[in-house]
Amino acid sequence: MAKVKFGNFDLKPEDFDLQVDTPPTGFGRTGFIYQQISNAKKKAIEMMTVRIGPKLESPLTLEDFKCTKEAMDKFSGKHIGVEWACEKAGKAQGERGGTWTIIIDMDDIPEGATPNGPDRPHVGYSYWYKANNSAFNVGRVNGHIFVNEVPASRNLGERAL
């Protein structure tokens, strides 16, 4: 069960917990956070590949994604990406053919806000499929890779690109 600020969040099959009990403090903290975020994005790609990889026309990689939103990095004071998106063609043909929409994001719900999902820092991912014939659509699936901290969040001063 992932630790969250206001209780517990039961992990679903789409979720994964990368949190450590005693994260580094002081000098090593910032490097640890950035490395954990990088590992979480890779884990999100890995988890989506298991679920939808065989249905994609080409393999899913981090290079497929384009930054769509950014927010202020609390360590550097610069804007960094907090949401990335891509569209990939499905392998199916004809009326089953279509496009996968895939999103990866960094998020942390600020205290006092109503959470729409877990209120713990996480790298989230979502995917859905829009087929040429709506009978073959796949509804949105959301997953979370829990981390100890995020340097920026979609919920804290984001701006669209």
pLDDT digit string (tens) for 65-78? Answer: 999 999 999 999 99
- Helix (H/G/I), strand (E/B), else coil: 6: coil
Per-residue CA distances from 160 to 66, 84, 132, 144 (Å): 12, 11, 29, 22
What is the arithmetic mean of pLDDT over 8-24? 86
DSSP result, 123-153: EEEEEEEEESSGGG-EEEEEEEEE-S--SS-
Neighbours of 139 (CB within 10 A): 7
Q: Are strands 138-146 and 16-17 parallel, antiparallel or unpaired?
A: parallel
Q: What are the residue boundaries of the structural domains of the chain, listed by start?
A: 13-160
- The winner for highest mean pLDDT among 12-16, 41-45, 116-120 is 41-45
pLDDT higher than threshold 50 for residue 1:
no
Average pLDDT over residues 11-35: 90
Residues of the chain with pLDDT > 90, as a percent, come to 71
Tell me, what's the pLDDT at 64? 95
| Per-residue confidence (pLDDT) for residue 4, from 0 to 100 | 53
**Across 7-11, 24-28, 49-53, least confident range:** 7-11
pLDDT digits (tens, 9 = 90+) for 38-55: 999 999 999 999 999 999
pLDDT band at 157 (very low <50, low <70, confident <90, very high): confident
- Write the DSSP string, 25-93: -GGGHHHHHHHHHHHHHHHHHHHHHHHHGGGBSS---GGG-EEEEEEE-TTTSSEEEEEEEEEEEBS--
CA geometry: angle at 113 spanning 147 and 24, to 5°? 25
